[in-house]
Structure 1
């Protein structure tokens, strides 16, 4: 049996092929797609519904909103004020007041992030009876 040596140009070409066709890795800082918030709704007083909103993401802001009345008019809990929105890994409690006692609202939570992997996911709407 004879030993054959690999010539320099062949070895260089094989090494270049490994570099070009090597495994593809994702940077450790890659961001996961934005998730919908974790949100609960409860009637907490006459004409008042409270939302507890948790942002499970490392970015973005999450909120609670509702369709109110026969026309399903859009309203943000806490009037959409900055303190009514949950930042990354934050939980906030906010209210929607001045509702008709005994009526129902269609409530849901949403998150928004304008990064390339962001988006605007929402929870499924739930019907809440106003106390």
Structure 2
């Protein structure tokens, strides 16, 4: 009976050692912090604003958008087409055309996290004055 009790105590001690041993998990690799894109805006022609957009993330897609007109109607640069979206690590240029010369738009960049974590980050909005149409050069006729 002594052996049986000793075996039971040994089994209980083993279970306790396994149960109460400190747990050390393999290091988990957290996803990098998701950020808004690096973006600059430039008036490149009368009625045209071009965004240079860099997606610094290792995932997701980034875009440029603007509030246009007196009601700040929401529009996407490049009409939101696939080629106007910066993929991870990519830098692109995309334009917004047909803007009213002399008007002001409010533009910003944004990135959507396409991983299971989801979410999005938006950059700070900036106001951009759209260059008015350039004066037409003289034609040279009738003293012009």
Could you tell me whether the CA contact under 8 Å between 1:34 and 1:117 is conserved in 2? no
Could you tell me whether the CA contact under 8 Å between 2:58 and 2:88 is conserved in 1? yes
- The two structures have a TM-score, normalised by structure 1, of 0.83
Which runs of no fewer than 5 residues in structure 1 stay unpaired? 1-6
Per the alignment, residue 44 of structure 1 pairs with 44
- The two structures have a TM-score, normalised by structure 2, of 0.76
Q: Greater CA radius of gyration, 1 or 2?
A: 2
RMSD over aligned CA atoms reads 2.0
- State the aligned residue count: 123
Q: Deviations over 1:77-119 (max 9, x none)?
A: 0111111100011110010011111111000101112323231
Could you tell me whether the CA contact under 8 Å between 1:31 and 1:117 is conserved in 2? no
Per the alignment, residue 111 of structure 1 pairs with 111
Which runs of no fewer than 5 residues in structure 2 stay unpaired? 1-9, 132-144
Q: Which has the higher contact order (CA 8 A, sep 6+)?
A: 1
Structure 1 residue ranges, 4+ long, deviating more than 4 angstroms after superposition: none
